[in-house]
Amino acid sequence: MSKTLWIDGEGLLRTLDQTCLPFERREIVLDSEAVCQRAITTMQVRGAPLIGAVGAWGLAFALRDDPSDAALVAASGRLFAARPTAVNLRWALDRIVRRVEPLPVGQRALAARIEAQAICDEDVECNRRIGEHGAALLGALSERLAPGAVLNVLTHCNAGRIATLDHGTALAPIYLLNERGVPVHVWVDETRPRNQGAALTTWELAERGIAHTVVVDNAGGLLMRQGRVDAVIVGCDRVAANGDVANKIGTYLKALAARDCGLPFWVACPVSTIDPLCPDGDAIPIEERAGHEVSHVGGRLPDGTMGTVQIVPDGSAVANPGFDITPARLVTALITEQGVCEASAGGVAQVLTAGGGR
C-alpha cells in the first residue's frame, strides 16, 4: 500500500505504527476519536500533514458517535490538544468544523468523513507538486557539478512519505531525482531524542534504494565546512506569517551552519502549514515533550528484542523541547505546492493568495 493512511477491504482505516519502525512493520486500525488522539500523542503517527489527516478522521469518528454541537466543539478541542506545534492539525480540524457546522446533525458524520478523505487525497497531489518544484532546485544544483558527480543533500528529522499521505515534503524532490537517474546521496541526521532520521528517513530511503549515510546531529556543520554537502532541505510543522519556520529541534543550528558555508537551506511545506494568524516564530508554541525521551534510548537489543536503556543519571533534570524556530532570514526559500517563494511576509502572502488562502 503506497499511501500512509488507507481504507482496507473491510472498510477500516489503517496506518503504520511508526514507533515500531524500522525493525517491525506493524499496522494499526484507527476507528475512534480516542484511538486517533492517542496515535497522534504517542507519535504512532507523526509529521504535520499526516497528523492533520488523522485528526480530521478522528473528528469524523467523533461525529459518528455524537453529531451534536457540543460534541463537535469538545472533540475538536481534545484532538487539537494532542500536538500543539503542528498547525496542520488545527487547519484540518477547522476545515471539518466549517464543513459540518451548517448541516443538520443527521448529515454531519457522512460529510465529515467525505471531507477527511478529501484532505487525504489533496495531500497526495500537494506533495507531488512540492516534489516537482524542489526537484527543479536540486536538479539545477546537480547540473553545476562535474559530470557523474553525486549531489549531496542533508536533511533533518523525517519529512518523507510516512510523514504525509504519500511522496513526502523534503524527501519528495529527492525521490523524483532518483527516479530520473540523477545520482543523489542523503546525509541523514539521527534527530535525537526520538531518532526519526535514523529510524524513519533511513527506512524510507532504503526502500527506494537511495544512497544515504546516518550522522549524529552535530556532524552537519563539519560536513558543510568540508564541502561534502550541496544543499540542506527540511520539512516543517508551522510557518509564521513573516516566514519564520518551526521544525524539529536542531533545525536552527543546521540553518546557521548552511548560512555560514554559503549553502542553500530550503524548507519544503504545504500551504496548509503556513499560519497567517501567527505573526512570527516567537508566537509559535513549542511542545515540551516527556523527559523520558532524553533520559532513555530505545532500540533493538542483541537478542533481537526491543528494549530501552537509561543514559542519564538518576536525579538529573531533563528538558525536552520538541521544536525550534529558524528565522526567515536563514531560509533560502519555501518550497510549496504553489511554487517556490521567499521566506518573508510578502512571499507567504503570495503563496496564500495563489492557494486561495487557508
Q: What are phi and psi of 84, to 5 degrees?
A: -80, -20
Lowest mean pLDDT among 75-89, 172-186, 327-341: 75-89
Beta carbons within 8 Å of 239's beta carbon, 6+ residues apart: 245, 246, 267, 269, 273, 274, 275, 334, 343, 348
Tell me the residue length of the chain: 358
Architecture in CATH for domain 126-354? 3-Layer(aba) Sandwich (3.40)
Cell numbers given for 96: 471539518
Asked if residue 63 has pLDDT above 80, the reply is yes
CA 263 – CA 332 distance, rounded (Å): 9
Asked if residue 2 has pLDDT above 90, the reply is no
pLDDT of residue 356: 65
pLDDT of residue 85: 81
Give the residues across from 6 on adjacent strands. Answer: 14
Which amino acid is present at 7? I
Q: Report the share of the chain in percent with pLDDT over 70.
A: 99
Asked if residue 86 has pLDDT above 90, the reply is no
Q: Using one digit for the tens of pLDDT, what is the confidence trace for 103-116?
A: 999 999 999 999 99
Lowest mean pLDDT among 8-12, 190-194, 209-213, 344-348: 8-12
Q: Using one digit for the tens of pLDDT, what is the confidence trace for 14-32?
A: 999 999 999 999 999 999 9
pLDDT of residue 354: 84
The predicted model gives 37-50 an average pLDDT of 95
Q: Using one digit for the tens of pLDDT, what is the confidence trace for 198-208?
A: 999 999 999 99
Q: Using one digit for the tens of pLDDT, what is the confidence trace for 32-43?
A: 999 999 999 999
Give the residues across from 307 on adjacent strands. Answer: 299
Structural domain boundaries in the chain: 5-122, 126-354
Asked if residue 357 has pLDDT above 70, the reply is no
176 — pLDDT class (breaks 50, 70, 90)? very high
The predicted model gives 278-303 an average pLDDT of 95
Round the average pLDDT of the chain to a whole number and report it.
96
Asked if residue 124 has pLDDT above 80, the reply is yes
5-122: CATH number:
1.20.120.420
CA 163 – CA 135 distance, rounded (Å): 19
The predicted model gives 288-314 an average pLDDT of 95
Q: Which residues belong to the active site?
A: 237
Q: Using one digit for the tens of pLDDT, what is the confidence trace for 127-141?
A: 999 999 999 999 999
Task: Report the Cα 37 to chain-centroid distance in Å.
Answer: 17
The predicted model gives 254-283 an average pLDDT of 97
Asked if residue 262 has pLDDT above 90, the reply is yes
Task: Report the Cα 245 to chain-centroid distance in Å.
Answer: 13
